[in-house]
Amino acid sequence: MQKLVDKEIIAKQMSSRIIRNQMFKGLFFLSTLFGLLVLGVLFYRIITQGIGYIDLDFFQNFASRRPENAGIKAAFIGTIWLMVVVAPVSLILGVGTAIYLEEYAKKNKFTSFIKLNISNLAGVPSIVFGLLGLTIFVRALALERSVLAAGLTMSLLVLPVIIVASQEAIRSVPKELREASFAMGATKWQTVLKVVLPAAIPGILTGGILALSRAIGETAPLIVIGIPMFVAFLPKTIMDTFTVLPMQIYNWTSRPQTEFQDVAAAGILVMLVLLILMNSIAVFIRNHFQKRY
């Protein structure tokens, strides 16, 4: 009987294709590993360089011309001051916009223009927001190089992140919840405030924390609005000038002495720990409070 399927020939023809498939699989996997490897090297370098400078004095000292005395007190407290402005401003504006777009906006050209505008705003380089802040907040509104001017600039920068996250959170609240609320005689705003928002809060918070951690690490806009890098005092009100962690790190990195690079690494370490902490909180909220409908 004639063989309809010659396994040997097929195996011969297939083997090269299968081998090629395996080779490329390995190649794709190695490329994926590259990103993870870089992350590992980066963390290793920063920890080994910076850990030596981290002690209690590092948190209690102001910036200094001598590396052994340099500390991040002004920058660390300054970052917290910045957050005090950015968090409420960006959350109120971002969540307000998201509620409007998801619950109230009619489907018309104006609404789609706002949406297009937000997605374009997300793509504007951060340094351009710095130019906006310099012209509007620092010069035109005469806020000078204050916590308020920097905070408002940063709020506008992270606004698209919060809007998009809040929109998604609000959208994922099922229609039935709203309709049940309406059926009980609640008005639109009562429904939004007491039914939709509580259900969407975990998603909004997660987005908000991620936006804040972006604001903590952002340097370029603050450089443009002229926030100083060498500060030996703490701000008393939001109208005082200040500095933040990434500015201090930039200052240390661009100094020629190699000791200051280790100090910069220590500063980076503090900032990264802060960011990882915030991200963990975001992940925790996402995993434990987010309801799936």
Partner 1 sequence: MPRGNQKEYSVQQMITEKRLKKKNHFNFEKLIPGLLLLTAVLSVLTTIGIVFTLIFETFIFFDRVSIIEFFTNKKWYPFSATDASFGIMPLVVGTLKVTGIAAVVAVPIGLATAIYLSEYASEKARRIIKPILEVLAGIPTIVYGFFALTFVTPILKQLIPSLETFNALSPGIVVGIMITPMVASLSEDAMSSVPRSIREGAFALGATKLETTIKVILPAAVSGITASVVLALSRAIGETMIVSVAGGSTPNASFDVTSSIQTMTAYIVQVSTGDAGYQTTIYYSIYAVGMTLFLFTLFMNLFAQFITRKFKEEY
Which residues inside 75-134 make contact with partner 1, applying CB under 8 A? 92-93, 96-97, 99-101, 104-105, 113-114, 116-121, 123-132
How many helices and strands, by DSSP H and E, does the chain display?
Answer: 12, 0
Among 143, 163, 169, 263, binds partner 1 (CB under 8 A): 163
CA dist 29 and 196 (Å) reads 43
For residue 99, give both structure tokens.
Answer: 């509620």
Q: Does residue 59 interact with partner 1 by CB under 8 A?
A: no
Residues in binding contact with partner 1, number by CB under 8 A: 85
Contact 276, 218 (CB under 8 A): no
Q: Is 239 in the site for partner 1 (CB under 8 A)?
A: no
The one-character DSSP state at 291 is P
Q: Binding segment for partner 1 among 41-49, 143-151, 172-180, 195-203 (CB under 8 A)?
A: 41-49
Q: Give me the least distance between CB of 5 and partner 1, in Å please.
A: 13
Does residue 289 belong to the site contacting partner 1 (CB under 8 A)? no
Cβ-based nearer residue to partner 1, 54 or 131? 131
138 CB-near residues (< 8 Å, 6+ apart): 144, 145, 149, 225, 226
The single residue among 70, 159, 212, 285 that binds partner 1, judged by CB under 8 A, is: 159
The residues near 15 (Cβ < 8 Å, ≥ 6 apart) are none
Closest approach, Cβ 214 to partner 1, in A, equals 8
Q: From the CB of 194, what's the least distance to partner 1, in Å?
A: 13
Does position 34 interact with partner 1 (CB under 8 A)? The reply is yes
Pick between residue 173 and residue 229 the one whose CB is nearest to partner 1: 229
How near is the Cβ of 236 to partner 1 at its closest, in Å?
25
Least distance (Å) from partner 1 to the CB of residue 280?
A: 11
**Least CB distance from residue 122 to partner 1, whole Å?**
8
39's CB contacts (< 8 A; 6+ apart) are: none
29 counts as binding partner 1 under rule CB under 8 A: yes
Q: Which is nearer to partner 1, 9 or 60 (CB)?
A: 9
Q: Give the one residue of 6, 9, 11, 38 binding partner 1; rule: CB under 8 A.
A: 38
Scan residues 171-200 and list those touching partner 1 (CB under 8 A): 187-189
Nearest 5°: the CA angle 273, 35, 128 is 70
d(CA 124, CA 157): 9
The CA distances from residue 286 to 192, 201, 204, 209, in Å, are 21, 10, 10, 11
Neighbours of 43 (CB within 10 A): 12
CA dist., res. 31 & res. 37, Å (int): 10
Integer distance in angstroms from the first to the last C-alpha of the chain? 62
- Applying CB under 8 A, which of residues 72, 224, 263, 270 lies at the interface with partner 1? 224
- Decide: 279 and 89 in contact? Cβ < 8 Å: no
Interacting span for partner 1 (CB under 8 A) from 42-50, 55-63, 172-180, 234-242: 42-50
Phi, psi values for residue 231, rounded to 5°: -130, 130
Of 219, 231, 242, 243, the one binding partner 1 by CB under 8 A: 219
Residue 46 is a binding residue for partner 1 (CB under 8 A): yes
